[in-house]
Amino acid sequence: MSEQNRPPRIHDVAKMAGVSVATVSRAMSNPAIVSEATRKAVEDAIAATGYTLNLTARNLRQQQVGGVLALVPNLANPFFSQILAGISEVLRRRGLSLLVMDTTSVADKPALAALGPYLNRSRSDGVIVLDGSLDPNLFTRPGCPPVVQACEWIDGLDAPRVLADNVEGGRLAARHLTGLGHRHILHMTGPAPNSLTASRRQGFLQGLAEAGLPEPGPADSIPGNFETRSGVEAAPRILAMDPRPTAIFCDNDEMAIGVIHGLTMAGVAVPDDISVMGFDNIEMSGFCLPPLTTIRQYRTRLGRRAAELLLDRMQGGDDRRTVILDVELMERASTAAPPAGSANSP
Amino acid sequence: MSEQNRPPRIHDVAKMAGVSVATVSRAMSNPAIVSEATRKAVEDAIAATGYTLNLTARNLRQQQVGGVLALVPNLANPFFSQILAGISEVLRRRGLSLLVMDTTSVADKPALAALGPYLNRSRSDGVIVLDGSLDPNLFTRPGCPPVVQACEWIDGLDAPRVLADNVEGGRLAARHLTGLGHRHILHMTGPAPNSLTASRRQGFLQGLAEAGLPEPGPADSIPGNFETRSGVEAAPRILAMDPRPTAIFCDNDEMAIGVIHGLTMAGVAVPDDISVMGFDNIEMSGFCLPPLTTIRQYRTRLGRRAAELLLDRMQGGDDRRTVILDVELMERASTAAPPAGSANSP
DNA sequence: CATTGTGATGTAATCGGTTTCATCCACGCT
DNA sequence: AGCGTGGATGAAACCGATTACATCACAATG
């Protein structure tokens, strides 16, 4: 047994099949242009040798990497991983691999220095950015592969975007709460620079105006950071407000769950005393107590669309339009009419 | 301006620096062996040309891929994404990229056919398996890169494992609940073939025995699938039991949260009527209502250790030992002493 | 019959680096 | 002076595929 240690190469297949390496390559990538007999011989030789293509060699010759890079603000956050699932699905159908990079872990260094080397044609064939806090200049440097923004976006970055309809979501939230009779609604927002924060706020204000409510003042919103803890910590501050709001719209579900946690711990009942709603419809929102009224966005679909858009750009397409995906109100048990004695009653 | 369209290559740098390509390569990868003056010239030329290394070319020559593949059962599950964060962190320090593949999306086809091509030295330099349901033969085929199992494991696969101490976790759960005075405890398990299910069960039974309880019968466990919904659906069946258990130990937090949801909706109070505990300590477990008593495992650390072990194997190490990571009881508000009138009271 | 076209295949260049091996030079030692 | 040594460098092989171009046999066409 002269067991060859190294894996077989195309040359070995060619020798066994009695053809040239070029013919083997053609038989694999474009079977139509080789004769039936040759194709059969090559297939047999491949099976006999156990040959598998060396992708690195192909990629070098074809000047590509065979993979797409996803820049994720926080891999540990389920919100993003579900988008990744959608991306992954589309990429694999095209034989491309998914490279993932967590941008939080590079947050200490200047992003440009830490991320720069990765945004290069030799590292990936395309990039999907899920982190809206990155420097737009990162993506305009020479050698940067095609970019698509998903979910969040970067101001001033001229690349296609795939977004949920955050404005409409904000409007739906306002409409739902005002429809229940609420007149004094607190808005717990995401971090100020975040692109989602601004558009959800915009829709929310629009919805309030449509309901005939006066423009809310600065005291009618409270900033959070999208994390559950910030919701918990907001609760006592909310309870100290005078007048106390009868409803709270949170910019995501985690904060809403945190707020409910904090309020409940303080002995305030949701939704009987205060209504709380969220945004995103994360898995848990249907199962927490009370089940959370929220705005649903389709994260897997969002990932898929982003990947498709990127593939189009990678093939030379120049479709720069922004794709907006529908959102939907999920009415559950964390919202109700304001308590009878509340100051809101006409 | 004769703007070169193609990115600069090492040859361009060499020409500008007045040295050979070999010297440029050395100056980059092993600066100590070139003279000070040459290094300076090369650095200047690199800066002037904006040269960046073509990784594909290096990888081809060095017979490597420059990336590690993580096989994840369900990318959308936050549990796994947090492990990925740990893996990602370690890999990036070594200049390796993280490739992610969702094994659920290939579940329809036979895994061997769908996954086989990816388990190849030309696709990755190493593999971290997070999916315990895969065929062990996938990883023993020639050409498969080094493998490490993390979190779950595959029976019969002789590759290093990095696990939480599931047995100890099960024991801690039993000890906690029996310590509170519970004598009739239901175990809601994961799917039977899953490696986690067996070891948590084992520890749990051991803990019961240590507390002097009789070996539980088949009626004292109920199967789930690790998903929240299965917990919700178990609730009515639990309430129909006679005698009704005073405590429920669930094999993960999602199911526990589902059970609490189902019980609460049915008007049964947790923990006053029935205690419920989980396993994993997912983010949400501290914020749901009531906050969940659970077994904490360190997922980021688990990912890191798995990556480190894999790196060792990739460098020729042959450390096959199984690494067991500590777990810890997180005592929160979903467990309490059994109700006074319960049949358990002595 | 000479010519042209076509399909199948082989030869060799190519992708862009790394690395082996050879060369050259300066230096120290006898 | 002669020789060995070691450091710095260059020339060219090499990694394993794809693909431009050349070649060849054979059929169709004028």
Domain boundaries, chain A: 10-53, 66-159+299-326, 166-293
> Which residues of chain B make contact with A80, given a CB cutoff of 8 A?
81
| Residue in A closest to B3 by C-alpha | A142
The whole-number average pLDDT for the span B201-210 is: 97
**Mutation site for B-interface testing, chosen from A10, A46, A52 by largest number of B Cβ within 10 Å:** A52
pLDDT average, residue stretch B263-274 = 97
Q: Which residue of B has its CA nearest to A56?
A: B60
**Candidate from A78, A123, A143 with C-beta closest to B78:** A78
Q: A252-295, pLDDT tens digit by residue?
A: 999 999 999 999 999 999 999 999 999 999 999 999 999 999 99
Chain C bases closer than 7 A to any CB of the protein? 7-12, 14-20
Whether A289 sits inside 8 A of B284 (CB atoms) is no
- How would CATH label the architecture of B166-293? 3-Layer(aba) Sandwich (3.40)
Confidence of residue A110 (pLDDT cuts 50, 70, 90): low
Instruction: Return the top range by mean pLDDT from A58-67, A136-145, B215-224.
Output: A58-67
Q: Token match 């949400």: residue?
A: B284
Percent of chain B, pLDDT > 70? 94
Give the separation between CA B329 and CA B169, rounded to whole angstroms: 8
- Residue B118 CA to residue B126 CA, distance in Å, equals 11
Task: Sort out which chain B residues have CB atoms less than 8 A from A257's CB and list them.
Answer: 284, 287-288
3-state secondary structure chain B: CCCCCCCCCHHHHHHHHCCCHHHHHHHHHCHHHCCHHHHHHHHHHHHHHCCCCCHHHHHHHHCCCCEEEEEECCCCCHHHHHHHHHHHHHHHHCCCEEEEEECHHHCCCCHHHHHHHHCCCCCCCEEEECCCCCCHHHHCCCCCCCEEEECCCCCCCCCCEEEECHHHHHHHHHHHHHHCCCCCEEEEECCCCCHHHHHHHHHHHHHHHHCCCCCCCHHHEEECCCCHHHHHHHHHHHHCCCCCCCEEEECCHHHHHHHHHHHHHCCCCCCCCCEEECCECCHHHHCCCCCCEEEEECHHHHHHHHHHHHHHHHCCCCCCCEEEECEEEECCCCCCCCCCCCCCCC
Whether B112 shows a pLDDT value over 70: the answer reads: no
A positions 226-245 inside 8 Å of B (CB):
228, 232
Choice among A310-314, B109-113, B182-186 with the minimum mean pLDDT: B109-113
Domains A66-159+299-326 and A166-293 share a fold: yes
Q: Is residue B15's beta carbon less than 7 angstroms from any atom in nucleic acid strand C?
A: no
Q: Please give the average per-residue pLDDT across B108-121, as a whole number.
A: 75
Cα dihedral value A62, A63, A66, A68, nearest 10: -150
Asked if A105 and B88 touch (Cβ cutoff 8 Å), the reply is yes
Share of chain A above pLDDT 70, in %: 94
The answer to pTM > 0.85 is: yes
Report the mean per-residue pLDDT for chain A.
92
In this prediction, what percent of chain B has a pLDDT beyond 90?
80
Measured between CB atoms, does B123 come within 8 Å of chain A? yes
Nearest CA in chain B to A291: B261
pLDDT given for residue A345 in this prediction: 42
Interchain pair B289, A288: CB under 8 A: yes
Give the nucleotide with minimal C1' distance to the Cα of B58.
C17
Span B288-305, pLDDT tens digits? 999 999 999 999 999 999
The average pLDDT across B223-235 equals: 96
Percentage of chain A modeled with pLDDT above 90: 80
Nearest in space to B167 (alpha carbons), one of B253, B279, B275: B279
Write out pLDDT tens, residues A169-207.
999 999 999 999 999 999 999 999 899 999 999 999 999
Look at B85 and A76 and tell me if their CB atoms are within 8 Å. yes
- Report residue A74's pLDDT band, with 50, 70 and 90 as the boundaries: confident
**Tens digits of residue pLDDT in B63-100:** 999 999 999 988 877 788 889 999 999 999 898 999 99
Highest mean predicted confidence (pLDDT) among A312-321, B73-82, B203-212: B203-212
Segment (H or E) for B235 = helix B228-239
Query: B235-250 burial by CB neighbour count: b if 16+ within 10 A, else e?
Result: beebbeeeeebbbbbb
Model confidence at B185: pLDDT above 50: yes
Note the pLDDT of residue B109: 55
- Does a cis peptide bond (omega within 30 degrees of 0) precede residue B271? yes
* Min Cα separation B238/chain A (Å): 18
Q: Which of residues 152-191 of A touch B (CB under 8 A)?
A: none
Of the pLDDT bands very low, low, confident and very high (cuts 50, 70, 90), residue A346 is very low
Q: Identify the closest residue of chain A to B99 by CA–CA distance.
A: A99
Does strand C come within 7 Å of the CB of B62?
yes
Fold of B66-159+299-326: Rossmann fold (3.40.50)
CA B35 / C1′ D7 distance in Å: 9
pLDDT in tens, B313-337: 998 888 788 999 999 999 999 999 9
Which pLDDT band, with edges at 50, 70 and 90, does A104 fall under?
confident
Residue B111 has phi, psi (to 5 degrees) of -55, -35
Average pLDDT, chain B: 92
Strand D bases, protein C-beta under 7 A: 7-12, 14-20
The pLDDT of residue A109 is above 80: no
CB contact under 8 A, A77 and B75: no
B100 near A CB under 8 A: yes
Q: How far is A245 from chain B (nearest CA, A)?
A: 22
Contact A288 B283 (CB under 8 A): no
Task: List CB-based contacts (under 7 A) with strand D.
Answer: A 6, 9-11, 21-22, 24-26, 28-29, 51, 53-54, 57-58, 60-62; B 18-23, 26, 33-35, 37-38, 57, 60-61, 63, 122
Query: How many helices (H) and strands (E) are present in chain B, helices listed first?
Result: 11, 12
Average pLDDT value for residue range A223-250: 96
Strand C closer than 7 Å to the CB of B26? yes
pLDDT band at A112 (very low <50, low <70, confident <90, very high): low
Residue A3 has pLDDT above 50, yes or no: no
Q: Which pLDDT value is given to residue B181? A: 97
Say which of A57, A88, A289 has its CB closest to residue B261.
A289
pLDDT exceeds 50 at position B2: no
Chain B interface includes A198 (CB < 8 A): no
pLDDT at B282: 93
CB-based contact A275:A182 (threshold 8 Å): yes
Contact A53 B122 (CB under 8 A): yes
